[in-house]
């Protein structure tokens, strides 16, 4: 961030932020210690806890637009990164271009994930057009962000945040290579992650500050329209969003087929949210742990792809309470998942480097798993047997099959599913690896902080405490088919999944 103690202010008269032949006016600018010029409004925007200034400085004087590099927050509505890019564009009297680079080798992604992503592109284009923001989509080999920035003459670039390892590395590398300001926006949480500067070990530790900050950030934001229109150059390359983004990709894993249980995009997300707020939220606290009823919101795929904002989801719940469709207690139970556990997961991935391996487990869990690593597994299954749902456990097979068929597994069963992998794999480290592989391969909401945190909780006691010692698990909490199956109508669930 740009620190106040490194700044001195002076009054100058210049073109509007010194760009082109824009109307002259007297404005405040900031001179940093390294003589970089930062307009006063930009300084104010940079102080927002959602914003990370990855490369500081003044917008390029000969810039012709502001670019939003869209990656995780794949939507045109309720997107703080779009809002920021548009505010800056309007202040600079420049148009805004949103750029989406389709990466053919995104880590662990397959046809199922790309098909869902593809379905959302049309909604993005339409919603951005309503805000007078142009949408450019490119595929390999013409999808270089740096090339796009040069073509359109970007004055500065705004991105969104993704705490996972590879996407964060991309942003770090890009910041070193660019010669223009580069900011990123934490667009997919309710409470900005920067307000929690270290790993929060338990939700009950994080929850009080979350609750204190929610009223400040749970606010509806009217969409800001870009005042200037971008004139697309003749022959400018951009992919048609209704076409197949994977066409011609010979190395893409096409073995995992798209599903018809979820349709990607903001329109589908809002439709599902409307139904949940009107009919599902009222019974959420009582029904969310009943997979046979399916009393959850099933918003996780849309949240993962950024097709909808968690703020939008939360505000819909607030509205349901005001209209008498649900109680405050039901809303709070849902907030515990949507804001509490979800944002604890983002915090976990942000601050724990090895979030997807046994190395992320606390010392007590690593020690107890190591002590029990040699315990006999009976039965012991291979990854391939588990992947095909070929175990002796009908409940586990049904959960795995639900994921295979629909791209989603009921939240409650994800815990049981992961713990059984620990029980049946040859050793804890391999169990962790297999759980990540299966989760990321088949879940539409895989490759996500929520998934990594859930596996870490189930297999390694992350965000949990030691329990009674037992074989294989040691003091990591265990779950049995006898106890789990009694808490809901497991027979009905199995029949529904396996017979559907």
Task: State which of 164, 187, 210 marks the end of a domain.
Answer: 187
Q: What is the domain-level CATH number for residue 171? A: 3.40.50.620
Structural domain includes residue 255: no
CA distance 291 to 288: 7
Of 17, 60, 22, residue with least CA distance to 39 = 17
Tokens of 364: 């007590």
Pair 174, 207 in one domain: no
Angle at 236 between CA 230 and CA 240, to 5 degrees: 95
Structural domain includes residue 408: yes
Beta bridge partners of 136: 99
Structural domain includes residue 307: yes
Q: 75 near 312, Cβ under 8 Å?
A: no
Pair 340, 408 in one domain: no
Pair 323, 416 in one domain: no
Residue 334 Cα distances to 267, 280, 319, angstroms: 22, 11, 14
Structural domain includes residue 368: yes
The two counts, helices (H) then strands (E), for the chain are: 20, 9
pLDDT of 13 reads: 26
CA distance 154 to 97: 9
Q: Can you state the angle between helices 266-275 and 111-130, rounded to 10 degrees?
A: 90
Task: State which of 312, 328, 351 marks the end of a domain.
Answer: 351
- Transcribe 376-392 into DSSP letters: PPSS---HHHHHTT-SS
Pair 367, 457 in one domain: yes
Residue 360 Cα distances to 176, 346, 460, angstroms: 29, 14, 8
Q: What is the domain-level CATH number for residue 289? A: 1.25.40.80
CA distance 299 to 303: 6
Pair 210, 336 in one domain: yes
Q: Exposed/middle/buried for 247, CB within 10 Å: 0-12, 13-18, 19+?
A: exposed
- The dihedral built from the CA positions of residue 410, 412, 413 and 417, taken in this order, carries a sign that is positive
Q: 308 near 266, Cβ under 8 Å?
A: yes
Q: 66 near 94, Cβ under 8 Å?
A: yes
Pair 151, 55 in one domain: yes
pLDDT of 314 reads: 98
Residue in the structure block whose two tokens are 């106890």: 483
Structural domain includes residue 272: yes
- Transcribe 173-208 into DSSP letters: HHHHH-SS-EEEE--S-SS-GGGS-S--S-HHHHHH
Pair 469, 382 in one domain: yes
Of 473, 475, 481, residue with least CA distance to 428 = 473
Angle at 461 between CA 460 and CA 463, to 5 degrees: 130
Of 332, 361, 333, residue with least CA distance to 348 = 361
Structural domain includes residue 158: yes
pLDDT in tens, 454-486: 999 999 999 999 999 999 999 999 999 998 988
When the pLDDT of each residue in the chain is averaged and rounded to a whole number, the result is 91
Structural domain includes residue 456: yes
CA distance 247 to 332: 44
Task: State which of 165, 187, 209 marks the end of a domain.
Answer: 187
Angle at 455 between CA 462 and CA 195, to 5 degrees: 55
Residue 16: which domain range? 4-187
Pair 134, 35 in one domain: yes
Tally of domains within the chain: 3
Q: Give pLDDT < 50 ranges for the chain.
A: 1-37
Pair 134, 212 in one domain: no
Of 208, 268, 227, residue with least CA distance to 93 = 227
Beta bridge partners of 101: 138
pLDDT of 42 reads: 86
Pair 112, 20 in one domain: yes
Structural domain includes residue 251: no
Q: What is the domain-level CATH number for residue 388? A: 1.10.579.10
Pair 384, 488 in one domain: yes
Pair 345, 413 in one domain: no
């Amino acid at each position: 961030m740009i620190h106040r103690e490194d700044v001195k202010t002076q009054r100058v008269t210049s073109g509007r932020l010194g760009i082109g032949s824009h109307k002259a006016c007297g404005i405040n600018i900031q001179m940093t210690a390294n003589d970089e010029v930062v307009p006063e409004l930009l300084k104010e925007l940079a102080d927002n806890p959602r914003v990370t200034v990855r490369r500081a400085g003044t917008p390029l004087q000969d810039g012709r637009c502001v670019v939003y590099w869209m990656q995780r927050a794949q939507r045109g509505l309720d997107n703080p990164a779009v809002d920021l890019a548009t505010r800056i564009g309007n202040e600079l009297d420049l148009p805004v271009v949103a750029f989406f680079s389709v990466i053919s080798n995104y880590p662990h992604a397959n046809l199922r994930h790309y098909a869902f992503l593809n379905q959302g592109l049309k909604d993005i284009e339409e919603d951005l057009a309503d805000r007078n923001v142009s949408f450019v989509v490119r595929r390999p080999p013409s999808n270089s962000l740096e090339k796009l920035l040069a073509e359109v003459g970007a004055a500065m670039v705004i991105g969104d945040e993704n705490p996972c390892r590879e996407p964060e590395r991309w942003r770090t590398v890009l910041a070193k290579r660019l010669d223009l300001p580069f900011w990123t926006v934490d667009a997919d949480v309710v409470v900005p992650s920067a307000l929690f500067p270290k790993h929060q070990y338990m939700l009950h530790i994080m929850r009080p500050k979350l609750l204190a900050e929610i009223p400040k950030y749970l606010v509806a934001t009217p969409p800001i329209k870009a005042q200037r229109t971008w004139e697309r150059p003749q022959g400018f390359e951009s992919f048609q969003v209704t076409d197949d983004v994977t066409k011609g990709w010979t190395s893409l894993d096409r073995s995992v087929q798209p599903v018809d249980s979820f349709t990607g995009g903001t329109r589908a997300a809002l439709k599902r949210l409307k139904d949940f707020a009107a009919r599902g939220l009222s019974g959420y606290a009582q029904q969310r742990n009943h997979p046979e009823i399916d009393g959850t919101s099933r918003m996780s795929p849309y949240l993962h792809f950024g097709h909808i904002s968690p703020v939008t989801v939360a505000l819909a719940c607030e509205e349901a309470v005001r209209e008498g469709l649900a109680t405050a207690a039901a809303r709070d139970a849902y907030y515990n998942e949507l804001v509490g556990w979800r944002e604890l997961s983002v915090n976990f991935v942000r601050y724990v480097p090895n979030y997807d391996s046994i190395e992320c487990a606390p010392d007590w869990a690593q020690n107890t798993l190591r002590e029990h690593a040699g315990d006999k597994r009976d039965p012991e299954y291979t990854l391939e047997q588990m992947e095909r749902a070929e175990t002796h456990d009908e409940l586990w097979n049904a959960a795995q099959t639900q994921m295979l068929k629909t791209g989603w597994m009921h939240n409650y069963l994800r815990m049981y599913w992961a713990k059984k992998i620990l029980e049946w794999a040859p050793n804890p480290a391999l169990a962790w690896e297999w759980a990540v592989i299966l989760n990321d391969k088949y879940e539409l909401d895989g490759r996500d902080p929520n998934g990594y945190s859930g596996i870490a909780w189930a297999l390694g006691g992350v965000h949990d405490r030691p329990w009674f010692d037992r074989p294989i698990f040691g003091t990591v909490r265990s779950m049995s088919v006898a106890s789990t199956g009694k808490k809901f109508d497991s027979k009905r669930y199995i029949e529904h999944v396996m017979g559907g």
